Structure 1
């Protein structure tokens, strides 16, 4: 779920098939190389090494293991990345946008009966993504820095400290924004892929028998003949596909054609050459199994490669971190988690955001992972579970979209989806075998986050039901006030409310205790639609209820951040003149408490209250001027 550099123009139009100038196309293609392919592009640092090491430790010859591993890597990338994501899912856009929640929302709009199931799948998929977001920076940076051991064995003690310094700088940099450095992502990663391809190409001639691995029979026979070992290696082989979901998540930033072209003509060939070069190297020299990636390059290239690898892994980690920010914002808008502080770090690109709480929670989790596992090999055991689980969920949601949205016959959908599902289930099962070696970590993270999301969704529904009992019908109240007017004061009052057709609690308390109303009262309701973005001309619905009351409904997509000042500015352009300097904003601040009659179990009730207490203040989140806010406190039993 990475974000595009601010210097790269959005490419959503390419997903819709619009023709653009070739200059823009190539700018988007280079940008996608830097953002979309950072994670999968750094997999050669550890994927082949871990798989071949696992096979070699079970007594297999290096040549036999290398051909089986390479065949599995090549066909995993072909079937899962190229066919599923590039050729299939990139066409399943939600108004030009892609990603877990975009696919979920698209499925819910066309398969209403299955909306709860798709919602549950979306929550599960997002939960597994956060497990990936913790492990990716840890394993990527560690695997790059471990090259220090090849320069001098005594540097082994420096691996973890250096990795921590690199990661600390990376997470510290988030608050400064990635606007300036992001424009270098594409060129740096382009150099990285060129070096990957050249390094592999230089060694394929070491043993041309490595080309036999293009035959899928070698991979299938390897798994068939080696039973448990074959499944273990399958789980490690899938490390070569980590980051594939970024192709779909970044669809809105770069467009289908630039991403497809980058993958087919540049990224995949470079990866295949590198993997096959590593394979030929170890077939020719079994000692190279220790670190086949760095052994591809001559000794004088070790330090430059170490530096370039570190830059590449930082870029890969950056993409995952900003993806976590983006996904969290979407989850907030969809009502799956409490409000968190969102800071915009770029004036030119709305997608460049920073979320302090998410950033530092991630950083702490990454440090814990590094100290707990200590090496990239140990982390590899924990990596594949979250990635394969997220991919299986993508496939399940894609089934509904292809069937209901594209209106394909069921047999045709099954013909494509079932084989993909079986392949990914096989990889998921292979990774589950590593449950007690570290695979429990992403599962634990996913379960914890899923519980938080389900608790928040259920709690907000219960709270809305309780609140509705204490709110009067707005039209009834307006008629009552028109018949018997209270004392009116000059100016405008804006009442933020979830239900624009009910009198909000803040209004009722103001009327009850102060016995006054403003000359003009605006009920403002902010809604999140099942679409990534809402066109500006569809943003506001303004309805005059009476001479003194106006109802405004503002609609936002789940990839947008609401702003009350911008809403009022937009309303002024629609002949609803509002002077923010003479406007008071009334908000209800609920103090939640437990009750014996709650619809939720006691533990879930307490968790929801804690989550509600940690939510970002509505004044800050909606960017309301703090000196114009009046908060009305109420106690609510949930």
Structure 2
């Protein structure tokens, strides 16, 4: 596969497709509504958590300015420079996210090498941790918004958890309508949210303009100098301000890089910093306000409307991660890291907007369990951050690989920055690692479980292919022998689905054994997934005649962001050869393997059984490839791995 088109970074919007008739302004509003929800609700809890008893800080002048300086420079370094400015240039033909970045990094290395394998492991681990983050974000965001009730009506404390659960159920139930429709509703609400953040920030800053000095990095340095190594652990709270950076990159394929950049530079970042500085000004004026500086900084007459707006904004925050989870899941599915699931496309205009029911309902159950277990945003804050910071660290490593291998014109300045990012990411991981026993174990355990599932699925598929190949007969020797004494021929075309185009498919063997007939035309079809989002037209289809005119080997290639449609691809193949696929005269044959766990084979017995369970519950390849059920014959085969 050629890498020439990836020699330097480019923006997805330059491709000029994928977003239909949606204009730049509409994409900016949609991006504000979906992409920035997660990072946009961090002011609800970040500063409050930095002064929680866990860290033992006193809300005096120097400490407040030091924390605010750390927040400002974390936003600038991690989100503005690393994600929005640099990593979003590492688009894989318009798509973002850790799986797309992994595939891009693998394209720079020899196929099957140890380095490619290591990058695959990193990508799977990062994807697993991202799902862990996806569970915590909705829980902590919505809880922190609803907790505003305690400020205005303390007697409603017992209602906080039930209201949070109801809001979350409503959020996940509406996912089937798609991010395009959701974004149209959420965009104006989020614009109002960020505008309110900025206005509240300015009002509070006017009381204590001294807080503006926090932009000077000297205050961050003084904080570290005063608190020495203990100061590093405060990064466990500062990281709350940058959670959502990965979601920005993951959702790039939904809206494009340019709308996201414009929204961040000129609207979202200024609004966030004004609000953080405003909260700091309030605490400088009244240190007791640190118990909930966000809501105490709101005028009393506006607190009830602000609780409603904050709840709506946190629902949107959750949307950013849920949307990202759908993207990551689809990429992982196509790259062969998780079992196939049903995917629903939700937009005619934007290719990347999808809904995966299985992922949606799994996230909902985990999020609600999390809320019922931890019950407060402060308790959840101890669990938050470790998966985010580890994902950011993996992103930096993959970015360095991509920059070194593919960005020849840019690497002289990107690689030194990667060293800076690496130092920051390691510091965040160390700081959050201190919270493991207090709740940080949850995303780590969840990430480890998902990593195990993904590795088991990937390895199990490799073992399955090896077993089929080992027991199989080579087509090149089988077909000439078959034609020496051919069975009864029947009219029509038979399409045999096979993962290995060189081996006789089980379905053909069973058809000959039980039905004792051979079709007039026989096609051995392999569906291949490339490590690019969309397969180039000249690589989509490969057709070759084998053993005479009655047999054909066909390979259909798709990118990891595409949904395969085999009948459509075969219909289009009629232009390339004499073979004609009449939908009413074509029968598809597929083998449905039953996995049997065997001792002393490729994986431990418990992983063999886990793979067998996953394989049994995966969506059939035939449905995933959009093969009509009334033209399909499935033949069973038992395989021991």
- Whether these two folds match at TM > 0.5 is yes
Aligned to 1:97: 95
Secondary structure, counterpart of 1:446 in structure 2: helix
CA distance in 2, matches of 1:308, 1:471: 62
CA distance in 2, matches of 1:12, 1:35: 20
CA distance in 1, matches of 2:576, 2:299: 67
What does residue range 78-97 of structure 1 map to in structure 2 within 5 Å?
A: 78-97=76-95
Aligned to 1:44: 43
Contact 1:563–1:622 (8 Å) recurs in 2: yes
- Which one of 622, 625, 628 corresponds to residue 622 of structure 1? 625
What's the CA shift string for 1:138-184, capped at 9, x where partnerless?
A: 01111111111122111111110001000011111223434423222
CA distance in 2, matches of 1:17, 1:81: 26
CA distance in 2, matches of 1:122, 1:61: 40
What does residue range 452-491 of structure 1 map to in structure 2 within 5 Å?
A: 452-491=453-492
Aligned to 1:4: none
Contact 1:138–1:369 (8 Å) recurs in 2: yes
Displacement of 1:228 in angstroms is: 5.7
Displacement of 1:598 in angstroms is: 1.0
Displacement of 1:221 in angstroms is: 2.4
TM-align CA RMSD: 2.3
Secondary structure, counterpart of 2:385 in structure 1: helix
Displacement of 1:342 in angstroms is: 1.9
Secondary structure, counterpart of 1:611 in structure 2: helix
What does residue range 558-569 of structure 1 map to in structure 2 within 5 Å?
A: 558-569=560-571
* Contiguous gaps of at least 5 residues in structure 1: 1-10
CA distance in 1, matches of 2:258, 2:415: 26
What's the CA shift string for 1:87-126, capped at 9, x where partnerless?
A: 2112222222221111111111113342111111100100
Aligned to 2:597: 594
CA distance in 2, matches of 1:170, 1:484: 63
CA distance in 2, matches of 1:182, 1:630: 42
Of 410-419 and 92-101, the range deviating more from structure 2: 410-419
Displacement of 1:531 in angstroms is: 0.3
Contact 2:496–2:590 (8 Å) recurs in 1: yes
Aligned to 2:6: none
CA distance in 1, matches of 2:602, 2:76: 49
Contact 1:15–1:93 (8 Å) recurs in 2: no
Aligned to 1:429: 430
CA distance in 2, matches of 1:605, 1:142: 40
Aligned to 1:265: 266
CA distance in 2, matches of 1:597, 1:487: 43
Secondary structure, counterpart of 2:525 in structure 1: strand
- Establish whether residue 541 from structure 1 lines up as the match of residue 542 from structure 2: yes
Aligned to 1:293: 294
Secondary structure, counterpart of 1:457 in structure 2: helix
Aligned to 1:134: 135
Displacement of 1:12 in angstroms is: 5.9
What does residue range 208-287 of structure 1 map to in structure 2 within 5 Å?
A: 208-227=209-228, 229-287=230-288
CA distance in 2, matches of 1:21, 1:179: 12
Aligned to 2:29: 30
CA distance in 1, matches of 2:317, 2:574: 44
Note closer, same or farther for the CA distance 1:291–1:392 as it changes in structure 2 (3 Å cut).
same
TM-score normalised according to structure 2 size: 0.93
Note closer, same or farther for the CA distance 1:59–1:476 as it changes in structure 2 (3 Å cut).
closer
What's the CA shift string for 1:449-475, capped at 9, x where partnerless?
A: 111111111111111111002222223
- Establish whether residue 331 from structure 1 lines up as the match of residue 332 from structure 2: yes
What's the CA shift string for 1:363-415, capped at 9, x where partnerless?
A: 11101111111111111111100110000000000111110101369875542
Note closer, same or farther for the CA distance 1:21–1:536 as it changes in structure 2 (3 Å cut).
closer
TM-score normalised according to structure 1 size: 0.94
- Establish whether residue 143 from structure 1 lines up as the match of residue 141 from structure 2: no
Contact 1:15–1:256 (8 Å) recurs in 2: no
- Which one of 579, 584, 590 corresponds to residue 581 of structure 1? 584
Note closer, same or farther for the CA distance 1:548–1:95 as it changes in structure 2 (3 Å cut).
same
Contact 1:54–1:233 (8 Å) recurs in 2: no
Aligned to 1:308: 309
Displacement of 1:625 in angstroms is: 1.4
- Establish whether residue 516 from structure 1 lines up as the match of residue 514 from structure 2: no
Note closer, same or farther for the CA distance 1:21–1:469 as it changes in structure 2 (3 Å cut).
closer
Note closer, same or farther for the CA distance 1:383–1:59 as it changes in structure 2 (3 Å cut).
closer
What does residue range 405-424 of structure 1 map to in structure 2 within 5 Å?
A: 405-407=406-408, 414-424=415-425
CA distance in 2, matches of 1:626, 1:186: 40
Of 323-332 and 352-361, the range deviating more from structure 2: 352-361
Contact 1:383–1:439 (8 Å) recurs in 2: yes
Displacement of 1:601 in angstroms is: 1.4
Displacement of 1:240 in angstroms is: 0.4
Of 343-352 and 512-521, the range deviating more from structure 2: 343-352
CA distance in 1, matches of 2:515, 2:126: 49
Contact 1:111–1:400 (8 Å) recurs in 2: no
What does residue range 172-211 of structure 1 map to in structure 2 within 5 Å?
A: 172-211=173-212
CA distance in 2, matches of 1:572, 1:191: 54
Contact 1:493–1:518 (8 Å) recurs in 2: yes
- Which one of 601, 606, 624 corresponds to residue 603 of structure 1? 606
CA distance in 2, matches of 1:317, 1:473: 51
Displacement of 1:597 in angstroms is: 3.5
Contact 1:591–1:633 (8 Å) recurs in 2: yes
Aligned to 1:106: 104
Aligned to 1:7: none
Contact 1:470–1:505 (8 Å) recurs in 2: no
Of 234-243 and 213-222, the range deviating more from structure 2: 213-222
Displacement of 1:569 in angstroms is: 3.1
Contact 1:488–1:517 (8 Å) recurs in 2: yes
CA distance in 2, matches of 1:161, 1:263: 34
Secondary structure, counterpart of 1:239 in structure 2: helix
CA distance in 2, matches of 1:247, 1:618: 32
Aligned to 2:531: 530
Aligned to 1:400: 401
Displacement of 1:536 in angstroms is: 4.1
